[in-house]
Structure 1
């Protein structure tokens, strides 16, 4: 019986094509699939948000959302509602959008230039972080701030665990801060990396979380034990973005390396690597199938405009 590694290596031999789709006029900062895997959203330096629908092996643009006054730096879909989207911008606002009505549902003013955002697993709360390391928790229904948390260290990325009873921060000191939720009391501080801890992701099965660091390492952690179970060290540059596959068995990691590394979660072995023309700062696996969306920087020495504003899909059938 073939192993998962062999099965997926064979799968990507036949379905390892990457196709790109025009999305924005400048760099794409964030991509994310909605909960049913039928829509992909992208946010850009050009201040807009695009929503695409997936039609077999291609993306077709549904709508362009306009309204932000600055770069859209991060976005995420509601964990259960396939048409509700929230975006964070440097214009000191977050915006909620409805893909059915094609318009902004609400604009929430915040206290700084926003760089990261996430939705609680129950969909009731949105957390947004700004450049001044202030985290604001916002009621998703009333759009009012519930509480602000100011930190005296660099906060890079934020996330709830899958159960929604803990809140995680990655820090510029290389540590992971784990808080109780909703009390926001510090439970643990994990010394994860010797360098800046940049990103954090939770697997859909609730068994692991992964962190990426400026030391070019990905560390995989057992959630129940809070111990690091393995390291993935194939990248040479700071790990900027990661995503777990729908079955929780693959992890995609990307950086300024000109590849995206795809590994088996349980062993760390390499399944595939996706060649890129320039650094990759956002990746997202589809929640239903082995299809990876990503976007690259729009600047490289060989062809400056090649990746400007494009969204890419890996895992499409090759030409036979």
Structure 2
């Protein structure tokens, strides 16, 4: 990525820096994500519900709310190629698959523990969910049956497949990335990625890179084929909770308890923009076609005013 390209991106965000706020829930939003066609944004909340918004040009409109989980919705993940299907992990020991077209739950899968992380394989055939006891459960999305369970002896944080869906990655409390073959779940590599807990992992849309965020406040960028660390992003000062690549793989957003979301250039690590926030940010998601970044912050109601509880925000609009 050349300097003119980076300048062009920096200039884009000078004119597209408006953030719009939407009151989606009655309590804290844990997870946000865009459907693969970018037409919808979903948010999952501590209030046990999932809100669905429709994007029309530069306006988000709330369409409906999915209810049914008996506890907090901790993470959500859309199908990689079907824009109608969404999966959610909840503390109620279930995984649900929701159909946006019919506006109801398409399947409920009972699991063994309180679920905190979920990922859908890029080929659409499997969902993996991790629980508080570090058990990862693999679900066949065609039969909605559990096809494997793997108990780990260390703290499992985020989980993800590579783009070919034949390798399964997980980040752990010892700062490592474990890479297993899939579907036979044989350990292939352990990468010592960070000195602190490895919290989040994300693959870029091109399939060339993945990034991890850590308690050491660093984001590291990795080459998928060589499994080497190419560079680190070090502008944040608190544990990195959430990361997201832009649709073209040029930008990487990362967020923490810092009062800013960092947007860096993937190829150089340079700062492109930042988004000021008023509280810790635990979820960010780039739109699959546009430079729009959805995010949600910790509740501020504990400190001052009630209005911020349960809201989600989208950065990257042009001022009216």
Deviation at 1:165, TM superposition (A): 1.0
Please state if 1:66 is matched with 2:67: yes
Match of 2:228?
A: 227
Aligned partners of 1:117, 1:307: CA distance in 2, in Å? 26
Q: How big is each residue's C-alpha offset from its partner over 1:115-170, in whole Å with a ceiling of 9 and x where there is no partner?
A: 00000111011000000000000010111000100000000010001111100000
TM-fit CA distance, 1:299: 2.8
Count of aligned pairs between the two proteins:
319
Q: How far is 1:303 from its partner? A: 2.9
Query: How far, CA to CA, are the matches of 1:239 and 1:8 in structure 2?
Result: 23
- Residue 8 of structure 1: SS of its match in structure 2? helix
**Hey, what does 2:241 align to over in structure 1?**
240
Instruction: Kindly report which structure 2 residues correspond to 1:181-260, keeping only aligned pairs within 5 A, or say none.
Output: 181-260=182-261
Written as runs of structure 1 = structure 2, the 5 A alignment for 1:133-172 is 133-172=134-173
What residue is the counterpart of 2:90 in the other structure? 89
CA RMSD of aligned residues (A): 1.1
Cα offset, 1:63, TM superposition: 1.1
Partner residue, 1:121: 122
Distance in 1 (alpha carbons) for counterparts of 2:95 and 2:159: 16
Partner secondary structure for residue 67 of structure 1: coil
Aligned-residue offset at 1:56:
1.3
1:21-62 per-position Cα deviation (integer Å, ceiling 9, x unaligned): 110000000000000001000000000001110011121111
Unpaired stretches in structure 2, ≥5 consecutive residues: none
Deviation for aligned residue 1:300:
6.5
Whether the 8 Å contact between 1:137 and 1:146 is mirrored in structure 2 is yes
Q: Please give the secondary structure, in 2, of the residue aligned with 1:5.
A: helix
> What is the TM-score normalised by the length of structure 2?
0.98
Pairs within 5 Å for 1:19-98:
19-98=20-99
Shift of residue 301 of structure 1?
6.8
Deviation digits for residues 255-300 of structure 1 (CA, Å, limit 9, x no counterpart): 0001000000000000001000110000000001111000000137
Displacement of 1:302: 5.5
TM-score when normalising by structure 1: 0.98
**CA deviation vs aligned residue, 1:83-134 (integer Å, no higher than 9, x gap):** 0011000000011100000001111100000000000111011000000000
